[in-house]
Amino acid sequence: MDATILPGPGVKARPQRTGAKADRHSIQSVDRALFLLETIAEVGGEATLTELATRTGLNISTCHHLLATLIKRGFAAKVPGRRLYALGARILYLGHACLQVDLPRRAQPYLENVNRATGETVHLAALQGDAVVTLAVCEARHAVRVDTGKIGKVEAPHATSVGKAILAWLPEDEIRRILADGMKRFTDNTITDFPAFVEALRVVRRNGYAIDREEFLPGVICVGAAIRDQAGTVIGAISVSTPSMRATEEHIELMRDEISAATRALSAEFGEPNSQPNSDRPQAIAN
């Protein structure tokens, strides 16, 4: 999935796609419905029925029937109190499902690059529903290594750097929902008070990265940072973990710098506007 910047309001409607030889096997109603969704996205996410008919070249009645079907399936929605149509939540669901496949594939070279540079265990995680989930792990190269869990649900998003790196950019009510089961104490350093946790997340936003100083596992230090997409939305995070016996300030700085560079470069691949594209993309290690 390549990130694409969609044109904003004012874009001219593309020519109606009819009669092309290459389309002889396509289903017209499906093609038109998808064209409507693309058009709503291109005009900024909302449009009137008349505007959609004009831009797509379809008549009002056809647009209305197609939109009714899309609304029924959750791919489009009527804006309450206004004569506008918008993209539906089902679009987000499909995009999220696609991302969960694409994110690990794209991130793998960066995980391996951080692993080579630091020698430590590296994790990739993303938010799935109300849970932070580990999608990939690159194990440490040392005999003494950190075992912070395998692929699957993160047990303690409030006590891990990867969890805090993701939660820091969410609305407070969403953070409360994710932590609805409570903030379990794992070590003496675990933050279990919600206001104190919110303040800690402010520090994460200010610094651009999160640190877990033995908050989840005794003797383990982790650094994590968020990955963003073309809209600037956080789509995941990468973290690196080290035993406290190797956690000198110099090593923590190396971990921070490598994680920050990796997440900036990966965000640029997903089109994040404030990230610099990486012209020397790390290559995946051959098996």
Residue pLDDT, tens place only, 142-163: 766 666 566 677 878 999 999 9
What confidence tens digit (pLDDT) does each residue in 189-248 have? 999 999 999 999 999 999 999 999 999 999 999 999 999 988 788 989 999 999 999 999
> pTM of the full predicted structure?
0.66
Count of alpha carbons within 13 angstroms of residue 205, beta-carbon side:
12
Is the pLDDT at 45 greater than 50? The verdict is yes
CA distance 219 to 145: 11
Longest dimension (CA), the chain: 70
What is the spatial distance between Cα 248 and Cα 44, in angstroms, rounded to a whole number?
A: 49
Residue ranges of domains in the chain, CATH in brackets: 21-87 (1.10.10.10), 95-269 (3.30.450.40)
Q: Which 3 state secondary structure label does DSSP give 75?
A: coil
Q: Which residues contact 62 (CB under 8 A, 6 or more apart)?
A: 32, 53
Start-to-end CA span in the chain (Å): 24
